[in-house]
Chain A
Amino acid sequence: DAGITQSPRHKVTETGTPVTLRCHQTENHRYMYWYRQDPGHGLRLIHYSYGVKDTDKGEVSDGYSVSRSKTEDFLLTLESATSSQTSVYFCAISESAGDETQYFGPGTRLLVL
């Protein structure tokens, strides 16, 4: 199994509070991704990173920011959480872009009240 951990695994927070989710990898892969999973939508890309300090937006980036100061860590921040951001968040990694397989972390279940 690819060495990917996510923390926290579960979080309950209130509307308007900031929240940071962490993804940590031990594979030294260049690419890292944040997805959210919602019923009826499958997985949708929030942001991705193609190197340290190199990030870009995905399909559903509004209300989220990311940072990557080290190869192994990719942080996802909800600046001011809203109920619509209640979801399961998955981190993924890959060695390169294109047809390279992505490996997924175990997920973080976030509930915004």
Chain B
Amino acid sequence: GDSVTQMEGPVTLSEEAFLTINCTYTATGYPSLFWYVQYPGEGLQLLLKATKADDKGSNKGFEATYRKETTSFHLEKGSVQVSDSAVYFCALSVYGGSQGNLIFGKGTKLSVKP
């Protein structure tokens, strides 16, 4: 079945460090891929998305490129800030699958130290 695997955390970085959170997927159809972010005590917010191979999603300095050949959608940011501390979820949605529900990875907790 469809699934998402993302690197386990927690990840602790110093401010201005480079961030990579790995995400790979398995899907039988043609998935759209998402990164959601959850700040402490809040619900999930869409960070970025890509709907087809080679698309790059970007938002707030974060980027991820949809790589069909490696079935990956790694999240990157060149210089993290303390305010980026949150839990990050990779997810996929396959149209024509389970009525479009999102399949999530288990989440990666990021802590950024000043």
* Chains A and B form a bound pair: yes
Pair count A-B, CB < 8 A: 63
Seen from chain A, the residues whose Cβ lies within 8 Å of a Cβ on chain B are: 31, 33, 40-45, 48, 50, 56, 58, 90, 92, 94, 96-107
State whether the Cβ of B42 lies closer than 8 Å to any Cβ in chain A: yes
Chain B residues touching A, range: 20 to 34
Q: Helix, strand, loop or mixed for chain B's interface?
A: loop
Evaluate whether A98 and B89 lie within 8 angstroms (CB atoms) in the complex, with A104-B45, A107-B43 already known.
Answer: no
Q: Tell which of B43, B46, B95, B98 touches A101, judged by Cβ atoms closer than 8 Å.
A: B46
Per the bound structure, the CA–CA distance linking A89 and B98 in Å amounts to 20
**Given the known A-B contacts A40-B106, A43-B44, A98-B95, are A33 and B49 also in contact in the complex, defined by CB atoms under 8 Å?**
no
- Check if B53 is an interface residue, CB within 8 A of chain A: no
Assess whether A105 is in contact with B43, with CB atoms less than 8 Å apart: yes
